[in-house]
Structure 1
Amino acid sequence: MRRTASPLSLILLGTGVFLLVLAPLLVWYVQPRAKVTPIDVDTVTVFTGTGSYFDTRRIATVSGRPLTITRQVRGDVADSVRSGRAVWDVSTSVDAAHTLPAAATHDSLQWTLERWVTDRRTNEPVHCCEETPAFDGEAYLKFPFDVEKRSYRWWDGTLGSTVNLRFAGTKKVQGYEGYRFTGRVEPAKTGTRLVPGRLVGQPGRPQVLAEEWYSNHGIELVVDRRTGRIMNAAIGPRKVLRAPGSAKDAVVLLDSRRMEFTPATQRAQVALASADNRKLRLLGETVPLGAVVLGTLLTAAGTVLLLRGGRRAPGERGRHDFDAAPAM
């Protein structure tokens, strides 16, 4: 007799096949497209440490004082959507105790406003959308997705160039492990500044175009491997003035052996990295694996039911039934 497939077997088989097709689709298509730099960001990171700075009230360098670096990153959503890039406006201020809160940027020891534009998938710099200044490198406020155990070219805005950061193992930040990268900046001339001659050892000259020199005692970044988010950062900036053509530091404008993310900033960065990781792991591992397992089981169950067949369709007669019928 002819058997008909039961609706249940077809549902199980169809659902199983769908899940088996969905699994690689999530891994190879959906997850890679989820690995994009966000555009609707509004974050504040704070570095603290101690060091020296030039106090304009005393016209002298003071030492052993608390220093704070505050950086706010805001995404320009309209320009990002229009350009298809990640457009971030970055405000950075360096403050002593008497110039805080950092919101009063006109009182800060140093304040800069920059616009950074990057490719949302590769993290490569993109020169558009009124970017300022033009920059280069592979890593900036974040590293690319899927960070590798190798050296990266990190953009140092004060230097105006890239710094080679070497992979230096792993390190935990607030209990969360990341890749550690380190480097340093040797003294380099970064510009000039018109100052009274006496500041740079030339009292006989009322104004001197002094040279600004910058170096960094040490850079240490701890980065989340999957997302490239920087969970902790420590830097050792040093800025000085030199008389024109001199190799000797005349005035220390800023100097700190180590300024590091505050514990609150570390916790916030770790929380963001953890949340982003969960989303990517869900799309790239958890859901695809579950889809494969469940899809295999459902496909197998549907196939078994289909092969075993269902009940005879109502009113249907088999071939032998017709053979046994009396002739008219």
Structure 2
Amino acid sequence: MKHRAIGAVLFGVGVLLLALAAGLVFVVTPALAKLPYDLDSSTSVAEASNAKFLQINDGTIKVNDGDLRSTVLVTQLPKETANLSGDLDGKAVVWQVGQTVERVDNKQLVSAYGAQLALDRVSGAALEWNGQWLDDTGEQDKGIRFAGQIYKFPFHTEKKDYKIFDRDLRSVRDAKFAGTETIKGIETYRFEQVITDETLNLDSTRLTALLGTFATGATDGKLVYSNQRTVWVDPVTGAFIKVREVQKKVLTPNVGAPTTLLDADFAYNEATITASADRAKDSRDKLQLLSVYVPVGLAVLGLVLLVGGVLVGRGGSVATDGEARHRVDTPTRVEEPVRDADPATDEQPVADREGGPLSDVIPPASTNWRAEDEPAVPVQRPATEDEAGKR
């Protein structure tokens, strides 16, 4: 009985551990593979050496040469996230993003933009939200429609093509999977997006100012934009480990020669790559711990306890059966029923009397035996007269 109880306990604990393992895989892990509601702010820095860039300073428009530094700050907005409703409630988070581009030599601001948008917590893609806006001209554009991947790829990124949103075009373009590359100990997926000579939708006031500075006499023109964007992504978390953008903007007037307004090769600096890799490693370690190592360990231990519980319970059952068989097989003394004595002889039946050492049955007493009070030697009796005469 004791063995059966222990076996039942082991079996029950084994089932519980298997259930916990399944819960980690099918419940906890999917919950962790989402953008959290308490995401810490992060900063990424990209640098471009020997760049050519347009700079407007104190009303003066000029193309300069030098080193540039681009800083992007991403901050999650808990209040705006909590106010999301409808299909976005529980599905999205709201981020605020700000970027500044400045000269390295004198810290002068070259350009800046700000944005607010909603991102899918699993895919990292931008979602349609009526609170989104983009400001890269000094005025918020609330008619912007963010889409595709912008600052993050999906958790468990696949080796396939994705669409990346381009801020200058205000639209998405294909980013093709181009292979793998190990960066800071992480095997990343490399995606390449190529934008070639596409015309930007430039405000007429700005276009007129540019033409008046660089193409005197031109009555019309266009700003042609190219970008070779390469993104190295951690496939487990979808985080950007490294980003490189080779950008070019050329003012093409209807009269006169084209003018290059931007020619820069931006890439994450070493500190940003290291920090991005460290954050990705920390996140992927937590995911792998709770989605692989812990469930496997619980499942193995649960199976061991299941088998052990069955064996212990079966052993107890075998032992109990053995004891029962032992009791059945052990000879026991059976008391013979007592039979009544023979009324004629006042003797017990033959079968009821104990046997002697040489025979199983002691023969019954004979009337020819001498009585207990008879002498051992017969006594001589006197002869009668007839007997005497005959002698």
TM-score where L is the length of structure 2: 0.70
Deviation at 1:289, TM superposition (A): 0.7
One-letter amino acid matched to 2:297: G
* Cross-structure match for 1:276: 283
Deviation at 1:4, TM superposition (A): 4.5
Mapped pair 1:212 → 2:218: no
In the alignment, the residues of structure 2 paired with residue 135 and residue 89 of structure 1 have an alpha-carbon distance, to the nearest angstrom, of 15
* Cross-structure match for 1:130: 131
Q: Please provide the CA RMSD for this pair.
A: 2.9
Deviation at 1:184, TM superposition (A): 1.6
In the alignment, the residues of structure 2 paired with residue 147 and residue 81 of structure 1 have an alpha-carbon distance, to the nearest angstrom, of 27
Deviation at 1:75, TM superposition (A): 0.3
Deviation at 1:152, TM superposition (A): 0.9
1:246–1:130: structure 2 CA closer, same or farther, 3 Å change rule? farther
Deviation at 1:28, TM superposition (A): 2.0
Match runs of 1:83-122 below 5 Å: 83=84, 84=90, 85-98=92-105, 100=107, 108-122=109-123
Deviation at 1:146, TM superposition (A): 1.2
In the alignment, the residues of structure 2 paired with residue 36 and residue 16 of structure 1 have an alpha-carbon distance, to the nearest angstrom, of 30
Gaps of 5+ in 1: 101-106, 313-318
* Cross-structure match for 2:75: 74
Deviation at 1:178, TM superposition (A): 0.4
Deviation at 1:183, TM superposition (A): 2.1
* Cross-structure match for 1:306: 313
One-letter amino acid matched to 1:81: A
Match runs of 1:7-86 below 5 Å: 7-39=5-37, 40-50=39-49, 51-56=51-56, 59-63=61-65, 65-83=66-84, 84=90, 85-86=92-93
1:177–1:53: structure 2 CA closer, same or farther, 3 Å change rule? same
1:185–1:11: structure 2 CA closer, same or farther, 3 Å change rule? same
In the alignment, the residues of structure 2 paired with residue 112 and residue 171 of structure 1 have an alpha-carbon distance, to the nearest angstrom, of 31
SS in structure 1 of the partner of residue 121 of structure 2? coil
8 Å CA contact 2:117, 2:129 repeated in 1: no
1:94–1:124: structure 2 CA closer, same or farther, 3 Å change rule? same
One-letter amino acid matched to 1:52: K
One-letter amino acid matched to 2:42: T
1:125–1:54: structure 2 CA closer, same or farther, 3 Å change rule? closer
One-letter amino acid matched to 1:14: G
Between the two structures, name the one with larger relative contact order (CA 8 Å, sep ≥ 6).
1
1:14–1:129: structure 2 CA closer, same or farther, 3 Å change rule? farther
In the alignment, the residues of structure 2 paired with residue 5 and residue 163 of structure 1 have an alpha-carbon distance, to the nearest angstrom, of 68
* Cross-structure match for 1:104: none
Deviation at 1:148, TM superposition (A): 1.1
* Cross-structure match for 1:146: 156
In the alignment, the residues of structure 1 paired with residue 233 and residue 255 of structure 2 have an alpha-carbon distance, to the nearest angstrom, of 39
One-letter amino acid matched to 1:61: V
* Cross-structure match for 1:103: none
Deviation at 1:137, TM superposition (A): 4.1
Q: Decide which moves more: 133-142 or 150-159.
A: 133-142
**1:93-147 deviation per Cα after TM superposition (whole angstroms, max 9, x unaligned):** 11112553xxxxxx52111000121221233422225112434443210101111
**1:51-95 deviation per Cα after TM superposition (whole angstroms, max 9, x unaligned):** 1012445743223x1111110000001222332321100001111
In the alignment, the residues of structure 2 paired with residue 55 and residue 172 of structure 1 have an alpha-carbon distance, to the nearest angstrom, of 37
Gaps of 5+ in 2: 85-89, 135-143, 321-326, 336-391
More strand by share: 1
8 Å CA contact 1:10, 1:306 repeated in 2: yes
In the alignment, the residues of structure 2 paired with residue 82 and residue 11 of structure 1 have an alpha-carbon distance, to the nearest angstrom, of 48
Match runs of 1:121-270 below 5 Å: 121-128=122-129, 130-133=131-134, 134-190=144-200, 191-192=202-203, 193=206, 194-195=208-209, 197-203=211-217, 211-216=222-227, 218-243=228-253, 245=254, 249-250=258-259, 252-256=260-264, 258-270=265-277
8 Å CA contact 2:53, 2:64 repeated in 1: yes
Aligned residues: 304
In the alignment, the residues of structure 1 paired with residue 36 and residue 257 of structure 2 have an alpha-carbon distance, to the nearest angstrom, of 45
In the alignment, the residues of structure 2 paired with residue 41 and residue 15 of structure 1 have an alpha-carbon distance, to the nearest angstrom, of 39
8 Å CA contact 1:135, 1:155 repeated in 2: no
SS in structure 1 of the partner of residue 302 of structure 2? helix
In the alignment, the residues of structure 1 paired with residue 106 and residue 97 of structure 2 have an alpha-carbon distance, to the nearest angstrom, of 20
SS in structure 2 of the partner of residue 109 of structure 1? strand
1:41–1:253: structure 2 CA closer, same or farther, 3 Å change rule? farther
SS in structure 2 of the partner of residue 236 of structure 1? strand
Identity %: 25
In the alignment, the residues of structure 1 paired with residue 21 and residue 181 of structure 2 have an alpha-carbon distance, to the nearest angstrom, of 33
Deviation at 1:277, TM superposition (A): 0.7
1:56–1:12: structure 2 CA closer, same or farther, 3 Å change rule? same
Deviation at 1:254, TM superposition (A): 2.1
Deviation at 1:249, TM superposition (A): 2.5
In the alignment, the residues of structure 2 paired with residue 77 and residue 47 of structure 1 have an alpha-carbon distance, to the nearest angstrom, of 27
SS in structure 2 of the partner of residue 20 of structure 1? helix
1:137–1:248: structure 2 CA closer, same or farther, 3 Å change rule? farther
In the alignment, the residues of structure 2 paired with residue 197 and residue 240 of structure 1 have an alpha-carbon distance, to the nearest angstrom, of 12
In the alignment, the residues of structure 1 paired with residue 130 and residue 102 of structure 2 have an alpha-carbon distance, to the nearest angstrom, of 30
